[in-house]
Each structure stands twice: as C-alpha cells, then as structure tokens.
Copies of this chain bind each other. A is one copy, B any other.
C-alpha cells in the first residue's frame, strides 16, 4: 500500500500520515490495532510503526498504555480559557462545557522557596499550603493546577476546598471575599509523567503552562498558581479590547 513509489519520504512519516487519515475518517475509532499487526499490515518492522505512533502520540491523537494497547483520544474542539482580572476556572468554562468540576489530587505543606516567597510577598521558609487540583469538563481532564497559599493566613483552605471544590468559595470561607488576577506568565513544554497520567495523554504530550499570581482587594498576593493545560484541548484567550493604552 505504501511501498510502490520511492517517494523520498521516510516510511514512518508516510505511515504516520496514513494513520492520521484513518483516525480522521473513522477507520480507526476506539482502539488502534496492535503494533505488531500494523507492522504486518504496512509490511514494515515494528520499530517503524512505533516511530509513526510516537508522532501521533505526541500530537495527542493517540494514547499508548503498556500492556494494554493504543487508543484513540477523544478529540473535542479546543475550549477557550479567557484570562482576565477575574479569571476563575468554573465560571470560565460554565458556558462552553457542561459539567466543569475541580477535584483535589493532593494537599501538603511546604516551605516557601525564593521565587515563591517573592511572588507571595512572604519571608523565605514561610509555611505554605500546596494544593494540587485537577479540572475536568464533560469528563475530559483539561488542566492540573498547583496552588500555594500562606498557611498562616489561610489555615483551613485545604478542608474548605475539599468541601466546595472551588477556590473562590474556599477563600470566602477563609475570610477573603474577593480577589483578582495580577499577572499570568504563559509558556509551553513537555508534559511531566505524573501529569500525563492525570490527563490520560502520552509521555510526549505538550502542555501550556500558566504561572499566575492572584491578589486580594488591597493588592496583596493571595496565591501563586501553576496551571498546566493540555495543549490540544485548551487555548488561552486574552482580550485587550477596551484598554486605552
């Protein structure tokens, strides 16, 4: 099928393109054939198939699980995450997705290191609550966030979040009526192994990284957030329409 012309293009690349097409038109739906079968079908070595699969894996089209097989990632249209002074996860996605939800993955206490103490305006070594939260919409994991709060100022933040599933609500219970986003720094990189598991993505998936600082109404830093978005499921939207200069 792919062996007639000496096209000058690597076989793994042609196979990758062919698999992409097969996924797009539904020939490959839920689960991809085993590597060994694809190798036989294309008349190539299994390594060559694996090279092709790794491309689709990195692009988020496929997810490979050792011992189980290779599966097609459900591809929803990319959701928009607006970044404004009032950036909140649940409000942001309430209109685009059906069931946004935040779940606590992990919570512990750490000491503020240099960058963190600078961001939060506390002394180095100050005790912090660290929350790791997973955000899901329509059953699809969209982002994982690591938040840092002053343990002195918000002693009960962990329990409050665990109950409410919302940072905004948890902060209200801790006496912070409102807050806003001061800045967001956006970069991109490869996913970490633990995040890959949470997202159900392969180890070469790409994430959007947003590092942000929220402040209270007196402009004092409340939390430092490090959010990882699955790059093929989300985009960040910055609207600068009304700003004068």
Q: Which residues of A contact B (CB under 8 A)?
A: 58-59, 78, 80, 83-87, 180-190, 204, 206-208, 231-232, 234-241, 243-245
Which of B184, B204, B237, B243 is the one whose CB lies under 8 Å from A58?
A: B204
Which of B80, B181, B182, B183 is the one whose CB lies under 8 Å from A185?
A: B80
Q: Tell me if B238 and A78 are in contact (CB < 8 A).
A: no
By a CB distance below 8 angstroms, the chain B residues around A185 are: 80, 235-238
Q: Tell me if B186 and A240 are in contact (CB < 8 A).
A: no
Q: Tell me if B190 and A58 are in contact (CB < 8 A).
A: yes
Q: Tell me if A208 and B186 are in contact (CB < 8 A).
A: yes
Given contacts A190-B58, A190-B206, A231-B188, contact A183 B237 (CB under 8 A): yes
In the A-B complex, the 7 residue pairs with the smallest Cβ-Cβ separation, listed nearest first, are: A188-B188, A85-B243, A188-B231, A85-B240, A186-B236, A187-B235, A184-B238
Which of B184, B187, B236 is the one whose CB lies under 8 Å from A240?
A: B184
Which of B86, B183, B207 is the one whose CB lies under 8 Å from A188?
A: B207
Give the docked Cα–Cα distance between A236 and B85 (Å).
16
Q: Tell me if B59 and A180 are in contact (CB < 8 A).
A: no
CB nearest to A236 among chain B residues: B186
CB nearest to A238 among chain B residues: B184
CB nearest to A86 among chain B residues: B245
Give the docked Cα–Cα distance between A52 and B88 (Å).
39
By a CB distance below 8 angstroms, the chain B residues around A238 are: 83, 183-186, 238
Give the docked Cα–Cα distance between A16 and B183 (Å).
34
CB nearest to A242 among chain B residues: B85
Q: Tell me if B183 and A206 are in contact (CB < 8 A).
A: no
A-B contact pairs, 24 of them (CB 8 A): A58-B190, A58-B204, A78-B187, A84-B240, A84-B243, A85-B243, A85-B244, A85-B245, A87-B240, A180-B240, A182-B239, A184-B238, A184-B240, A185-B235, A186-B186, A186-B235, A186-B236, A187-B235, A188-B188, A188-B208, A189-B206, A190-B206, A206-B206, A208-B208
Give the docked Cα–Cα distance between A142 and B12 (Å).
30
Give the docked Cα–Cα distance between A22 and B184 (Å).
32
